[in-house]
Structure 1
Amino acid sequence: MSTYFIGDVHGCYKQLENLLDKVKFNTLMDTIWLTGDLVHRGPNSIEVLSFIHSLGKSTKIVLGNHDIQFIKNNYCSNIDKIRYLVHWLRHQPLIQIDEERKIFMVHAGVIPQWNINNVIQYAHDIELQLRGNNFKNFIKSIYNKKNNTTLNELNFNIQVFTKIRYCFSDGKLDINREYHQKIERKNSYSFLSSPWFNFHGPIRKKYNIIFGHWSALMGQGLPSGIYGLDTGCCWGGYLTMLRWEDKKIFRVPGIKNK
């Protein structure tokens, strides 16, 4: 009886199948947790969603930014299967917590000011919007360009859960850092921001944190108790799995770069 954590699948169904075969995953005994971004970029998003849905209680997921974009792009679909998967996907959570083992899973991360009660409430507020009758307008508001500079609370929180990489010590997001790094690399540009997991907030102190989203890390350079499992399967990297009981890592090669 094992618990497995798998990084961003991004529509790579064959790689997901190979990874589960590698550990002889048993749907009656084992559980898989997925860090979000099940869809896009890879060739088989619908197959991935259908398969994860078919596992029922054997799986736990969190929504990533690409999963929310999939909802936005497909909620008007006239294909029954896709409509059903959109309905299922928008009823999935933003976070997963195992209090007994002190496990906290989120797609991208959290800011240091948040404690566990904060994240539960903030995730709940967003989930109510995604599951409600007005979800279409809420989804549109997330992608409103004006919200990139003036975020309301719900949109700020969803940015944290699904997109955060760098932030400042006061919890403000540094959404432009990666762009700035590219243009300022030669000028020794000095940043006050840092990867979110370098700040010692209440959640980091009490929980093991499992996340995806940041494939460039390749799971390296992380503090103890923090596991980044997106290793760029859709970019020619790997699909990575962590078995919780012995912390063993399993990998299969991702999609070959074109």
Structure 2
Amino acid sequence: MATYAIGDLQGCHEAFQQLTELIGFNVTKDKLWLVGDIVNRGTGSLPLLRFIMKLGDSAVLVLGNHDLHLLLVAEGFAQQRSGDTLQEILEAPDRKTLLSWLRQQRLFYAEDEYALVHAGLLPSWHIAQAAELAQEVETVLRGEKYHELLLRMYGDEPNCWSDNLEGYDRLRVIINAMTRLRICTPDGRMEFSYKGQPRTIPSGYLPWFEAPQRASSSATVVFGHWSALGLQVRDNILALDTGCLWGGQLTAIRLEDRRVFQVPCARRSVAASQR
């Protein structure tokens, strides 16, 4: 039995098939940990969703910003953006089943010494706290009032955490950190516009995982979202977005021995500004 964590798929179904063949994935014995952004920008979002849904307990998925964007578009709370490739899902006969399944997925997952999240964690959040905060969002997203959460989800404010936050401001900060975060100030103020490489980060900010005395450093956090960061295999982080959508690679890492597996990807004809 092995557990393979895999980076952002973004509808790259063909590369995903090649990678699972490369690692010899056995659905009856192995597990896949998927860092989110299953859908959008690539051409195979629909078959990917269908396949991963059928994996059942053999796959652990945390939601990414593109997955949440699909839910918003499906409810009519957002428009498709330039480069989006969601229409096939929206017109699928099993649309309702797929979207309902997607809403049931996690925002954060922790097991043994590993934690799985799409983007990042704020410096003050320890692993148990992050799990509790994610569950607050998951409970609403899975419940009858999920429409209200989706309607109020977009926005960059508040841009930092406070235990005193309530209501949708509280949920928005949790969602933004776990699905959009790349850089923040040492005390956890998030900045969402920067998508470049670490060496050109604006003054006063740093990668979220380099914040001093980060409370989640006791675990190895597995994440994606930041394609310009590239593959990072360190003691307490595994960054797995290696830009498959942009002609890079699709990456898997076997958690038991940290062996890396990669397949090359064809560049998609989408606007780089829409990452």
What is the TM-score with the length of structure 2 in the denominator? 0.83
Residue 14 of structure 2 aligns with which residue? Answer: 14
The answer to whether residue 163 in structure 2 is matched with residue 163 in structure 1 is: no
Residues 119-163 of structure 1 show CA distances to partners (whole Å, capped at 9, x for unaligned) of 1221011111111111112112112xxx32446111011000000
- Structure 2 letter corresponding to 1:17: Q
- Structure 1 letter corresponding to 2:40: H
**Secondary structure in 1 matching 2:191:** coil
Asked whether the equivalents of residues 182 and 195 of structure 2 are also in contact (C-alpha less than 8 Å), the reply is no
Unaligned runs of 5+ in 2: 77-89, 160-168, 270-275
Displacement after TM superposition at 1:178 (Å): 4.6
Tell me the distance in 1 between the aligned counterparts of 2:15 and 2:244. 8
Change in CA separation of 1:202 and 1:190 when aligned onto 2, cut-off 3 Å: closer
Change in CA separation of 1:247 and 1:90 when aligned onto 2, cut-off 3 Å: same
Identity over aligned pairs, percent: 36
**Secondary structure in 1 matching 2:262:** strand
Tell me the distance in 2 between the aligned counterparts of 1:135 and 1:190. 36
Residue 120 of structure 2 aligns with which residue? Answer: 109
**Secondary structure in 2 matching 1:252:** strand
The answer to whether residue 101 in structure 2 is matched with residue 84 in structure 1 is: no
Residue 132 of structure 1 aligns with which residue? Answer: 143
Asked whether the equivalents of residues 75 and 86 of structure 1 are also in contact (C-alpha less than 8 Å), the reply is no
Among 199, 214, 218, which residue is 1:201 paired with?
Answer: 214
Asked whether the equivalents of residues 127 and 219 of structure 2 are also in contact (C-alpha less than 8 Å), the reply is no
Tell me the distance in 2 between the aligned counterparts of 1:216 and 1:80. 36
Residue 243 of structure 1 aligns with which residue? Answer: 254
Residue 156 of structure 2 aligns with which residue? Answer: 148
Among 153, 169, 173, which residue is 2:190 paired with?
Answer: 173
Residue 218 of structure 1 aligns with which residue? Answer: 230
Among 88, 107, 115, which residue is 1:94 paired with?
Answer: 107
Asked whether the equivalents of residues 195 and 226 of structure 2 are also in contact (C-alpha less than 8 Å), the reply is no
**Secondary structure in 2 matching 1:214:** coil
Tell me the distance in 1 between the aligned counterparts of 2:230 and 2:156. 27
Aligned length: 244
Displacement after TM superposition at 1:166 (Å): 0.4
- Structure 1 letter corresponding to 2:266: I
What is the TM-score with the length of structure 1 in the denominator? 0.89
Change in CA separation of 1:51 and 1:230 when aligned onto 2, cut-off 3 Å: same
Tell me the distance in 2 between the aligned counterparts of 1:72 and 1:174. 22
Change in CA separation of 1:190 and 1:56 when aligned onto 2, cut-off 3 Å: closer
Whichever structure has more helix as a proportion of its residues is: 1
- Structure 2 letter corresponding to 1:208: T
Tell me the distance in 2 between the aligned counterparts of 1:190 and 1:36. 26
- Structure 2 letter corresponding to 1:42: G
The answer to whether residue 30 in structure 2 is matched with residue 30 in structure 1 is: yes
Asked whether the equivalents of residues 2 and 31 of structure 1 are also in contact (C-alpha less than 8 Å), the reply is yes
Residues 208-250 of structure 1 show CA distances to partners (whole Å, capped at 9, x for unaligned) of 1100000111114x64321100111111111000011221111
Asked whether the equivalents of residues 75 and 83 of structure 1 are also in contact (C-alpha less than 8 Å), the reply is no
Displacement after TM superposition at 1:165 (Å): 0.4
Among 229, 242, 261, which residue is 1:231 paired with?
Answer: 242
**Secondary structure in 2 matching 1:210:** strand
**Secondary structure in 1 matching 2:131:** helix
**Secondary structure in 2 matching 1:55:** helix
Displacement after TM superposition at 1:118 (Å): 1.7
Change in CA separation of 1:89 and 1:190 when aligned onto 2, cut-off 3 Å: closer
Residues 78-126 of structure 1 show CA distances to partners (whole Å, capped at 9, x for unaligned) of 7441111100000000011112xx1001000001101123212210111
Tell me the distance in 2 between the aligned counterparts of 1:240 and 1:122. 28
Displacement after TM superposition at 1:57 (Å): 1.0
Tell me the distance in 2 between the aligned counterparts of 1:32 and 1:257. 24
- Structure 1 letter corresponding to 2:138: E
Tell me the distance in 2 between the aligned counterparts of 1:230 and 1:63. 14
